[in-house]
Amino acid sequence: METTKCLIIGSGPAGYTAAIYLSRAGISSVLYSGIQPGGQLTQTTTIENYPGFPQGVEGFDLMENMRQQAVNVGAEVRNGIITDIDLSKRPFVATVDGTSTISADAVIIATGASAKYLGLADEQKYAGMGVSACATCDGFFYRKKVVAVVGGGDTACEEAYYLSNLAKKVYMIVRKPYLRASAAMQQRVNEKENIEILYNTNTVGLFGEQFVEGAHLVQFKGTDKEQMLDIDIDGFFLAIGHKPNTDFLKGQVALDEQGYIALGGITTETSVKGVFAAGDVADPHYRQAIVAAGSGCRAALDAKSYLDAL
């Protein structure tokens, strides 16, 4: 069985940053990039809010630069998915792609979270061409334009309110006849003149030549009041939640009520000593590349302190 000092599960800003810091500290590490090498940012176009890039940077390029930097300082970066892991024994033992195994004295989990989608084929067709799951990341590109936000919870209201300060008009597409958000968030969106809430409404498709130009909606679906409605929009934002990528852990570390890895105290250590978490897999709130990178640095420093004490 292969061994390493620290196993990093997942790429993206958190995983790559952890690999960079560990390698520079002289600690051998192996990073498995997971199902989507580079993480969600590889599906993003120009990023304009990551420090150090005054002209912006393509998401794929930023992740490729981080990967190459990790490799340059000595990290072992591999394609592959950790399909199973046993955190009950020391060293920890992980299974790669359901076949080979690798053991490690410490583990950093940086598997991220996946945005929930409606399941429409058009969401994939227009990915990066008007469809987004992050208003903070992409809202800047829709200044003075018309956008739609799907969802009725706090996240949807926050995204809609954020976008309303950039876009000309914001539609909120809400499946239920009411908002599920807190009273304070409901008040904010209801008082914003350029936000229009479409209740009892489902999205059934998107249209446009190359980029999103509109959405096909159905109101009062399955009732005698059912009717079709098309709206003209430039951007379509999903705000129906994220799912942390923790299924492979099979309950071996403590999770919060949403399934995110729970961290105790001020460090990145999980409920299992020697196992650390970084990035969106442990962050249901911020979900930003710069925050993930910072947490990757913290996890690497925490892992080093742990390993030094063994």
- Beta strands 100-109 and 275-277, pairing class: parallel
Could you tell me the two tokens for 277?
């978490």
Could you tell me the two tokens for 105?
């004295």
Residue 223 DSSP code: S
Instruction: Say whether the peptide bond before residue 37 is cis (omega within 30 degrees of 0).
Output: no
DSSP structure string for 67-129: HHHHHHTT-EEE---EEEEE-SSSSEEEEETTTEEEEEEEEEE---EEE-----HHHHHTBTT
Q: Count of alpha carbons within 13 Å of 149, Cβ hemisphere only?
A: 33
Among 59, 215, 47, 236, CA closest to 145: 236
Annotated active-site residue in 6, 105, 122, 134: 134
Annotated active-site residue in 6, 105, 122, 137: 137
Contacts of 220 (CB under 8 A, 6+ apart): 200, 226, 227
Cα-based distances in Å from 18 to 12, 191, 251? 10, 43, 24
Annotated catalytic residue 134: yes
User: Partners of 76 in the beta sheet?
Assistant: 30
Instruction: Report the C-alpha gap between 155 and 207 in whole angstroms.
Output: 25
Residue 260 DSSP code: P
3-class DSSP assignment, residue 253: coil
Instruction: Report the C-alpha gap between 186 and 293 in whole angstroms.
Output: 32
Annotated catalytic residue 157: no
Annotated active-site residue in 105, 138, 234, 280: 138
Report the catalytic residues: 134, 137-138
